[in-house]
Amino acid sequence: MATYLGCIADDFTGATDLAGILARGGVPVSLRIGVPSGPPEETAPFEVIALKIRNLPVAEAVAQARAALAWLQHAGAERVFWKYCSTFDSTPEGNIGPVAEALMDDLGTDQTIYCPAFPENGRSVFMGHLFVGRDPLAESPMRDHPLTPMRDSNLMRLLAPQVTRRVGLVDRMEVTRGAVADRLATLRDEGVAHVIVDAVADADLSTIAAACEDMALVTGGSALARPLSALYVKDGAVGAAGDGHDTPLLPPETIVLSGSCSSMTNAQVAAYLATGAAGYRLDPLALAEAGPGPVLDWLAQQDLAQAPLIYATARPEDVRKAQDRLGTARAGSLVEEALAACARAGREMGARNFIVAGGETSGAVTQALGVDRLTIGAEIAPGVPWTYGRTDGADIALALKSGNFGAESFFSDARTGLDGP
């Protein structure tokens, strides 16, 4: 089946978020973990490639994104979507802009848009400023993100140092008037290549999608993909196929792994432990001293049918303490390696359901399990579907959650969702 829309996501939770939203429209979606090593085979109308590049140096991120684009073009993709986090996780040295600019060059296009808004999850863009709920990005808990602390809410100021071409804005007033296409044309005539577009409601996203349907490259959060995909179906570029993939019947053994330190994940961990679930907290300083042996010993004593939780989730001040002692990169890698080891050990103990919080953690766990392709199941929360793949010859289910997504009851909700849609 020919591919029409090819998507590149900068982390694994973002990829499942995007794939889940695309699947809402009934169009077959295939999620690839990393750039496939072979030529395209058994492709879907919507192909999503999950990369792990959010925090990579620019040159490495660009190289991987270009490789993903080449594979998608070989699969027949006529439109491309560059997906990053709805909180625009990227410091001035980040790679959102450089990847977009490289994709533009490879596609031969001179303009693209940036719209990370996700109103359903409280992310909105107004006059070029990104809001998380009622708070400007720089006043939200993202201010203290351990890897990408967001200290500016103005997306134009965040993007401009990352790109070589001019940055502009389509503001909410122009979106409301339905003047997006005209404003983009004016900006193109002025030499503006990178355009932030305001959106505070789902209706805004529909207006933006209609104006940008024919763009070779669109960038943003996953919410913009839903009206785009609906337009592709309406115009006959792709066909809807009903309810999607069959869900495998899996045993109850489950493991919950949380590396995110977002404020929401902190609340989710606390809520899950309050239900009486067994939990083990990973401390980067302790991992530096003793390695993952103690947590693996603890895990070996647990009843996986009760879904034990292993978490490195911590308050910002505790994260900074570990980073000051170990360095940001080492503190993060110690946690990722330990959680990956726990995922492998859980699989050997019979776990077939993995609930994972955090983009970096999801990448580490998925790679540790050797999963290279996922199908999309029912959503647990907006932007967080169950996904299904194979590891070591066995069917498994994975819920890969971005740190800020889901209600406080998310981990319990995910376990309930294992009983079926």
Q: What are phi and psi of 370, to 5 degrees?
A: 70, 30
Residue 202, pLDDT score: 96
Furthest CA-CA distance within the chain: 66
Residue 281, pLDDT score: 96
421 has pLDDT over 80? no
Q: Which residue has the tokens 């295939």?
A: 30
Determine the Cα–Cα distance for residues 401 and 13; give it in Å rounded to an integer: 5
Residue 316, pLDDT score: 78
Determine the Cα–Cα distance for residues 148 and 232; give it in Å rounded to an integer: 34
Angle at 397 (CA atoms; ends 41, 373), nearest 5 degrees: 15
Residue pair 118/85 in contact (Cβ under 8 Å)? The answer is no
379 has pLDDT over 90? no
Taking residues 274-282, what's their average pLDDT? 97
User: What percent of the chain has pLDDT above 70?
Assistant: 97
Domain ranges of the chain: 5-234, 254-417
CA atoms in the 13 A half-sphere facing the CB of 103: 33
Residues in Cβ contact with 22 at an 8 Å cutoff, skipping those fewer than 6 apart: 5, 7, 29, 46, 48, 225, 226, 229
**Which tens digits make up the pLDDT trace of 112-158?**
999 999 998 899 999 999 999 999 999 998 888 777 788 899 999 99
Fold of 254-417: Molybdenum Cofactor Biosythetic Enzyme; Chain A (3.40.980)
Query: CATH topology of 5-234 equal to that of 254-417?
Result: no
How confident is residue 246, by pLDDT bands cut at 50, 70 and 90?
low
CA atoms in the 13 A half-sphere facing the CB of 384: 24
3-state SS string for 221-280: CHHHHHHHHHHHHHCCCCCCCCCCCCCCCCCCCEEEEECCCCHHHHHHHHHHHHCCCCEE
Determine the Cα–Cα distance for residues 112 and 345; give it in Å rounded to an integer: 44
Angle at 300 (CA atoms; ends 294, 304), nearest 5 degrees: 125
Residues in Cβ contact with 161 at an 8 Å cutoff, skipping those fewer than 6 apart: 92, 93
Tokens matching residue 88: 């625009």
SS3 53: coil
Residue 241, pLDDT score: 66
Residue pair 285/318 in contact (Cβ under 8 Å)? The answer is no
Residue 26, pLDDT score: 86
Taking residues 249-265, what's their average pLDDT? 93
42 has pLDDT over 50? yes
Average pLDDT of every residue of the chain: 92
353 has pLDDT over 90? yes
**Which tens digits make up the pLDDT trace of 168-204?**
999 999 999 999 999 999 999 999 999 999 999 999 9
371 has pLDDT over 70? yes
SS3 196: strand
Tokens matching residue 58: 């620019």
**Which tens digits make up the pLDDT trace of 382-398?**
889 999 999 999 999 99
347 has pLDDT over 90? yes
Determine the Cα–Cα distance for residues 158 and 93; give it in Å rounded to an integer: 9
- Could you tell me the CA-to-CA distances from 302 to 256, 355, 362 in Å, in that order? 12, 16, 22
Residues in Cβ contact with 245 at an 8 Å cutoff, skipping those fewer than 6 apart: 375, 376, 377, 388
Residue 289, pLDDT score: 93
Fold of 5-234: Rossmann fold (3.40.50)
How confident is residue 2, by pLDDT bands cut at 50, 70 and 90?
confident
Taking residues 274-287, what's their average pLDDT? 95
| pTM for this model (two decimals) | 0.84
Pairing of strands 135-136, 46-50: unpaired
Residue 419, pLDDT score: 56
Taking residues 398-413, what's their average pLDDT? 92
Residue 245, pLDDT score: 52
**Which tens digits make up the pLDDT trace of 194-233?**
999 999 999 999 999 999 999 999 999 999 999 999 999 9
